[in-house]
């Protein structure tokens, strides 16, 4: 029997359809939660961070951490292992879209309802106005659109050409939809073949290579065919030969790999510079200072020392970035309009005590220093600061974080 994947809009009656399929068949249900949980165990990354890979919003630190790409690599591997080990899978949610389209024994199903029906459903269930309901649906659809765009370069997540079956859940009953899916799944054209099984093996091997590269901080396109691995470098790199040798060395150690080739993709000729993540230095540094020219210059100087950072220009923005993107280290000015640095420090240490905060100010007093250190600041530095001293302090804060995590 083929694999069945279901991708649907929110408030499109997905759950009754899924339950009806399980009633009518002997399929085993695999959800995004299952894949995320397995990926989290393999990667040692919290499930909440793995889950963010499905979101349209990318962390401000991602260009330094490749966290989303590492999450995707482990999601692919978790999914590939399920495909290789099990039959009769019903895969529901975002993760099923990671299956390569050259695996032919997959029945692609979309569940969708017209917008009026969806809006009415949300408004009734949540007891809100229809305009409010429409905003909720648009927000959810944005994530789905970004997901399909990233994977398949298609703007419309409900594009009919992406699916074998598109079922209008507002016009058909769950039993009718499930019956149609079951009938199509029984067609001989969707039976697993030697070629499609080989495609699953290729997907599994590519996922394993991708994960091993990600463990070493690399974000590289991976394709495999019968043990032959092709690695695509899609950003400019200063020493291409050295990178190619390193990538080959990593890939060749993966069981099942028989040959490795590297090539450059279209992005290699653009302005982006390829950056391997260095796990020995902090890559999630948030600089908080209302002096825009100073903080931008500081960010550039840290970048020259392989310390990637994002910038916030006021306390309120800093708290929002900290809440959504979870920096490792925050470098914080004290005197800012609105929420000042001491209040930011107080709130951070109350809600996210794992963030190490380095105070960097030109206006502080000894009393301010005492308060900051009592609130849990890692260090208190005065402007102008020697960049090497600041770099060393950041690395010391990062090392303390690693010690706490290992403990």
Q: Do 407 and 386 touch, CB atoms closer than 8 A?
A: no
pLDDT of residue 349: 97
Residue 243: the pLDDT is 95
pTM of the model: 0.89
CA distances to 138, 152, 255, 407 from 356, in Å: 37, 39, 40, 16
Query: 106: which 2 tokens?
Result: 């997959």
Mark 250-280 as b/e (b = at least 16 C-beta within 10 Å): bbeebeebeebebeeeeebeeeeebbbbeee
pLDDT at 342: 96
394's CB contacts (< 8 A; 6+ apart) are 282, 285, 302, 307, 329, 331, 358
pLDDT of 218 reads 94
Question: Given this model, what pLDDT does residue 227 score?
Answer: 97
Low-confidence stretches of the chain (pLDDT < 50) are: none
Extract long-range pairs of 268-271: CB within 8 Å, 24+ residues apart. 268/233, 268/234, 268/235, 268/236, 268/237, 269/236, 270/235, 270/236, 271/236
Q: Write the pLDDT tens digit of every residue in 176-232.
A: 999 999 999 999 999 999 999 999 999 999 999 999 999 999 999 999 999 999 999
| Per-residue confidence (pLDDT) for residue 87, from 0 to 100 | 81
**Domains parsed from the chain with CATH numbers:** 3-190 (3.40.50.300), 216-269 (no CATH), 285-406 (3.40.50.2300)
């Amino acid at each position: 029997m083929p694999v069945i994947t279901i991708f649907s809009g929110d408030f499109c009656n997905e759950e009754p359809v899924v339950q009806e399929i399980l009633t009518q068949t002997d399929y085993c249900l695999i959800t995004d939660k299952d894949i995320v949980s397995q990926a989290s165990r393999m990667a040692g990354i919290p499930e909440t961070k793995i889950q963010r890979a499905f979101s349209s919003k990318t962390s401000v630190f991602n260009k330094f951490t490749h966290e989303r790409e590492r999450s995707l690599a482990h999601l692919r591997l978790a999914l590939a292992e399920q495909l290789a080990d099990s039959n009769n899978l019903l895969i529901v949610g975002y993760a099923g879209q990671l299956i390569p389209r050259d695996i032919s024994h997959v029945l692609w199903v979309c569940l969708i309802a017209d917008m009026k029906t969806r809006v009415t459903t949300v408004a009734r269930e949540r007891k809100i106005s229809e305009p409010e309901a429409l905003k909720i649906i648009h927000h959810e659809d944005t994530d789905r659109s970004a997901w399909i765009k990233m994977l398949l370069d298609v703007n419309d997540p409900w594009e009919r050409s992406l699916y074998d079956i598109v079922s209008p859940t507002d016009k058909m009953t769950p039993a009718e939809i499930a019956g149609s899916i079951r009938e199509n799944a029984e067609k001989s054209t969707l039976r697993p073949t030697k070629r499609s099984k080989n495609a699953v093996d290729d997907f599994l091997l590519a996922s394993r290579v991708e994960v091993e590269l990600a463990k070493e901080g690399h974000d590289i396109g991976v394709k495999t065919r019968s043990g032959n691995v092709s690695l695509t470098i899609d950003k400019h790199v200063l020493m291409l030969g050295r990178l190619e040798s390193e990538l080959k060395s990593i890939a060749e150690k993966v069981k099942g790999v028989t040959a490795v080739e590297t090539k450059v993709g279209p992005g290699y000729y653009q302005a982006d510079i390829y950056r391997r993540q260095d796990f020995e230095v902090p890559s999630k540094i948030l600089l908080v200072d209302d002096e825009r020219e100073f903080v931008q210059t500081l960010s550039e100087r840290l970048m020259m020392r392989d310390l990637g950072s994002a910038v916030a220009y006021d306390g309120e923005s800093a708290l929002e970035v900290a809440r959504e993107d979870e920096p490792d280290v925050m470098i914080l000015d004290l005197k800012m309009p609105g929420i000042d640095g001491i209040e930011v420090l107080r709130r951070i240490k109350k809600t996210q005590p794992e963030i190490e905060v380095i105070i960097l100010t030109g206006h502080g007093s000894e009393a301010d220093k005492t308060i900051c250190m009592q609130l849990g600041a890692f260090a208190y530095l005065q402007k102008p600061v020697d960049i090497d001293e600041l770099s060393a302090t950041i690395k010391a804060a990062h090392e303390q974080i690693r010690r706490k995590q290992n403990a």
